[in-house]
Amino acid sequence: MSALLAGCLIVTLAHPAPAGAAPVRYVALGDSYTAGPGIPHQTAESGGCRRSDHNYPHLVAAALGVARLIDVSCGSATTAHMTSPQALPGGLTNGPQFDALTPDVDLVTLGIGGNDIGFGEIIVTCVRLSLLLPLGAPCRHHYNRHGDELGERIDATAPKVAAVLAGIRERAPAARIVVVGYPVILPAAGPGCWPVMPVAVGDVAWLRGMEGRLNAMLAEEAAAAGATFVDTYASSVGHDVCRLPGRKWIEGLVPTAPASPVHPNARGMANTARQVLAALS
């Protein structure tokens, strides 16, 4: 048994699962922050979706003793890919994630929304602009040229998340639904760590606020749908992308542990699993 899995099992003892039988069928839906690209070991069946057998769905399933985990999370997934196929590199396709849902599913976790607001594009844009004005706020000015563009993207994603939650409830009416938020990426305070993570010092607080708004929207939609929201941000403060290797739970543009750039590493995934287990207890 790996140290990470053993650690997760120990956490389960501290946060026991709900009374009664363990979930029989657990379906994990979501994007790369669920899939765990780059984290050993990548599952052969996931192909271009790049799912890890140490992502939080696998850790949660092992800790709860789930009879069957169906993990259909996929890197770059959006809310649209819950009901539509997702094209992947190499001509591959990931089927609609909702195809995994059936009436006998009793636990569903969902981690989605970041790609709907353009997470990858935002990172690339902010990094590129920071090279010109590292002490300014070029990214904020770029996205605020014609109003609150990122805020509007978050607002536009809210009804999409609501529709996803309604779709889960329709297809798996007996399932407990857990919406998993996004962990800390940039430091929770201060100006960041340019050039280690090349985001201009004036943009750090603004981007931090945008992630807070995204998480708040996910929490609101979860509550409205009768789902459970899991906050992974508070517990990951102090483990942001600017920390030293071994301390950071999110990797930078040049990863120092196996993971995709600006994504959770194995420690980050283990923390998310702890928060999900605590929410289920």
Q: Could you tell me how many residues make up the chain?
A: 281
**pLDDT of amino acid 15:** 39
Preceding peptide of 41 cis, ω within 30°: yes
Q: Mean of the pLDDT values across residues 91-108?
A: 96
Helix (H) / strand (E) element for 169: namely helix 149-171
Q: Global pTM?
A: 0.92
Are 66 and 22 a contacting pair, CB within 8 Å? yes
**pLDDT of amino acid 139:** 98
Are 62 and 40 a contacting pair, CB within 8 Å? no
Q: Is 15 a catalytic residue?
A: no
pLDDT digits (tens, 9 = 90+) for 219-250: 999 999 999 999 999 999 999 999 999 999 99
Q: Is 52 a catalytic residue?
A: no
- Which amino acid is located at 135 in the chain? L
Please determine, for residue 54, whether its predicted confidence score (pLDDT) is greater than 80.
Answer: yes
Domain spanning 3-280: CATH 3.40.50.1110: yes
Preceding peptide of 195 cis, ω within 30°: yes
Q: Mean of the pLDDT values across residues 62-88?
A: 97
* Among 32, 73, 236, 260, the one annotated catalytic: 32
* Among 84, 146, 263, 281, the one annotated catalytic: 263
Per-residue pLDDT band for 20 (boundaries 50, 70, 90) equals: low
pLDDT digits (tens, 9 = 90+) for 264-280: 999 999 999 999 999 99
Please determine, for residue 8, whether its predicted confidence score (pLDDT) is greater than 80.
Answer: no
The full set of domain ranges for the chain reads: 3-280
Separation between Cα atoms, residue 81 and residue 164, nearest integer Å:
10
Q: What are phi and psi of 81, to 5 degrees?
A: -80, 5
- Percent of the chain at pLDDT exceeding 70: 93
CA torsion sign, 212 to 265 to 40 to 279? negative
Query: How far is CA 280 from each of CA 21, 27, 57, 218, rounded to the nearest angstrom?
Result: 13, 15, 13, 18
pLDDT digits (tens, 9 = 90+) for 165-192: 999 999 999 999 999 999 999 999 999 9
Q: Mean of the pLDDT values across residues 3-14?
A: 39
pLDDT digits (tens, 9 = 90+) for 81-99: 999 999 998 889 999 999 9
Separation between Cα atoms, residue 150 and residue 140, nearest integer Å:
9
Query: How far is CA 173 from each of CA 22, 65, 169, rounded to the nearest angstrom?
Result: 18, 22, 5
Please determine, for residue 7, whether its predicted confidence score (pLDDT) is greater than 80.
Answer: no
Q: Mean of the pLDDT values across residues 63-76?
A: 97
Neighbours of 197 (CB within 10 A): 24
Are 117 and 212 a contacting pair, CB within 8 Å? no
DSSP code at position 256: S
**pLDDT of amino acid 22:** 82
